[in-house]
Chains A and B, each alone.
Chain A
Amino acid sequence: EAGVAQSPRYKIIEKRQSVAFWCNPISGHATLYWYQQILGQGPKLLIQFQNNGVVDDSQLPKDRFSAERLKGVDSTLKIQPAKLEDSAVYLCASSLDRTGSDNEQFFGPGTRLTVL
């Protein structure tokens, strides 16, 4: 079974530029998550989708971050304009839409963003 795919793996941009990240979840996983992991910290949820609807975006800085999941499969996360403090690893995860103890989240390899 293919895992969660993300691209690009690395991105370097200057502040005030824009950037976009792409995620393809595991086939059949209805729920998709974007996390931000700043160096030395644990991941922090930015946005959660169920199919193509937003479940939780309470920690998404909406003045500069946007995300979409058209057709309920792939997702893109965009930052415009980027700030120095956006330097982080952006992790995408997916899970089956079911209750229960084994409804774990599967993570992709992440995109490491450096803002200069």
Chain B
Amino acid sequence: AQKITQTQPGMFVQEKEAVTLDCTYDTSDPSYGLFWYKQPSSGEMIFLIYQGSYDQQNATEGRYSLNFQKARKSANLVISASQLGDSAMYFCAMREGQNTGFQKLVFGTGTRLLVSP
């Protein structure tokens, strides 16, 4: 069974607008962590934001926020005030077992975001 699902192959947004990238996950482990990574055309994976399954508040990092809805098993990434440099692939990933030192990440298929002027 697919553990991470990203249903949007591509998204378009105008500069300075907000955009939401969807991610749903599947796990029976009560302890898990959710990550978002950005992959520009250069290929490097850049960590954006993290949400733990026991965290009470939604994670925020600058212009990035994570809309965590545990009952729906969704962890959508919200990018506010989009910039041209935000154009990239975005991957949602999950690590089962939040408090372990061994972090096997399972990634979704990604969403390509294109920001237009």
Residues of A at under 8 Å CB distance from B? 31, 40-45, 48, 50, 55-56, 89, 91, 93, 95, 97-110, 112
Contacts and interface: CB of A to CB of B under 8 A. Distances in A.
Nearest to B110: A42
Contact of B43 (A102, A104, A110): A110
B110 to A, nearest CB: 6
Interface stretch (B44-52, B64-72, B76-84): B44-52
B102 A56 contact: yes
A86 to B, nearest CB: 17
A48 B4 contact: no
Listed residue (A95, A103, A109) with the most chain B CB atoms within 10 angstroms of its CB: A103
B103 interface: yes
B99 A99 contact: yes
A89 B52 contact: no
Interface in B90-106: 91, 93, 98-106
Interface residues of B, number: 28
A10 to B, nearest CB: 10
A103 B103 contact: yes
Contacts, number: 66
Given A42-B108, A55-B102, A101 B44 contact: no
B33 A101 contact: yes
A88 B102 CA distance: 25
A103 B106 CA distance: 15
27 contacts: A31-B102, A31-B103, A42-B4, A42-B93, A42-B107, A42-B108, A43-B45, A43-B91, A43-B107, A44-B107, A48-B102, A50-B101, A56-B102, A89-B43, A91-B43, A99-B100, A101-B33, A101-B55, A103-B103, A104-B47, A105-B103, A105-B105, A107-B45, A109-B43, A109-B44, A110-B43, A112-B43
Contact of B47 (A89, A106, A108): A106
Contacts of B55: 101
Contact of B45 (A41, A55, A91, A98): A91
B109 interface: yes
A93 B105 CA distance: 11
Contacts of B57: none
